Structure 1
Amino acid sequence: MALECVHDWDGVIATFEHPRYEMHGGGAVFDGEAAVRGYFAASRTPFPDQGNEIIAIAHAGDTVLVEFWLTGTHLGPLKIPGRTVEPTGKAFRIRMAASFEFAPGSDKIVCERPYYDQFAVLRALELG
């Protein structure tokens, strides 16, 4: 998660056995390096300062669970269904959780699964 905050995409990709994000909230799946890098580009364009503040970490078997505050400022165009919202300069801070599934006996991630309310950022920015 720290590598994502500093936009070290090569470093993030290196943590995976096979890059895969399953977004529980919107239902999108980004499978493979090109798809995951596309997700990074799309999600950081409107919020280039996106970061996180860890609340709690737990693990069970090959899975690590992280609860955190997702933070950011709307500094770039935000594409939402039917329109693009120009930067508002407004900040957001929403509570999220993510699971990181590791390959058995390995330090490599096989899937990251963020769990979130897909409209929470829009509400925080007073856009919906």
Structure 2
Amino acid sequence: MEDLAADLAERRIQVVRDHMALECVHDWDAVIATFEHPRYEMHGPGTVFDGEAAVRGYFAASRTPFPDQGNEIIAIAHAGDTVLVEFWLTGTHLGPLKLPERTVEPTGKPFRIRMAASFEFAPGGDKIVCERPYYDQFAVLRALELA
């Protein structure tokens, strides 16, 4: 029984590693395939992207200002039906950034902020049912000297 649980934990961790790597290379079809049901719950602004169309819209909107957005995993762990990841989110402001009150034209400035995310799995499953990134929503703006 322990071997089965360890195998499931290893598969889940690998799914999360693959998911995060695929986001960096914009292989959206493969990212979507890591989900049982695509869903992001953004802790910070509180925005929820539920379903494939909404998640693909999130990818497009978040990569327009930061087309080179990437991540560097610092730590990863499995607990229960969750994989927890701490990572550096990186990118360069190369496209228009839509803020509630204005659009900021590209500054060419890079950012690197520390974040965490939980990846939830259905009991016994190895497909993601929800990604929940945790971050300070103004950290990128401060890094770009816009706040």
Return the TM-score normalized by structure 1: 0.99
Tell me the percent identity. 94
User: Could you say what secondary structure the match of 1:72 adopts?
Assistant: strand
Larger radius of gyration: 2
Q: Which residue of 1 aligns with 2:40?
A: 21
**Which structure shows the bigger proportion of residues in helix conformation?**
2
Following superposition, the deviation at residue 39 of structure 1 comes to 0.2
1:42 corresponding residue in structure 2: 61
Q: Deviations over 1:83-119 (max 9, x none)?
A: 0000000000000000000111111000000000000
CA distance in 1, matches of 2:87, 2:146: 23
Determine the structure 2 residue equivalent to 1:72: 91
Number of equivalent positions: 128
User: How far apart, CA to CA, are the structure 1 residues paired with 2:108 and 2:70?
Assistant: 16
Distance 2:57 2:100 in 1: 18
CA distance in 1, matches of 2:30, 2:83: 19
Match of 1:16, SS state, is coil
> How far apart are residue 81 of structure 1 and its match?
1.1
4+ residue segments displaced more than 6 Å: none
For normalisation by structure 2, the TM-score amounts to: 0.86
Cα distance in structure 2, aligned partners of 1:105 and 1:15 = 15
- Structure 1 counterpart SS, 2:67: coil
Q: Which ranges in structure 2 are unaligned for 5 or more consecutive residues?
A: 1-19
RMSD: 0.4
**Structure 1 stretches of 5 or more lacking a match?**
none
The within-5 A match list for 1:104-123 is 104-123=123-142
CA distance in 1 between partners of 2:89 and 2:114 (Å): 6
**Offset at 1:59?**
1.1
What does the per-residue CA deviation read over 1:71-91, in whole Å, with 9 as the maximum and x for residues that have no partner? 000000000111000000000
**C-alpha distance in structure 1 between counterparts of 2:126 and 2:90, whole Å:** 27
CA distance in 2, matches of 1:57, 1:32: 26
Report the counterpart of residue 5 of structure 2 in structure 1: none
Task: Work out the CA distance in 1 between the residues paired with 2:122 and 2:52.
Answer: 17
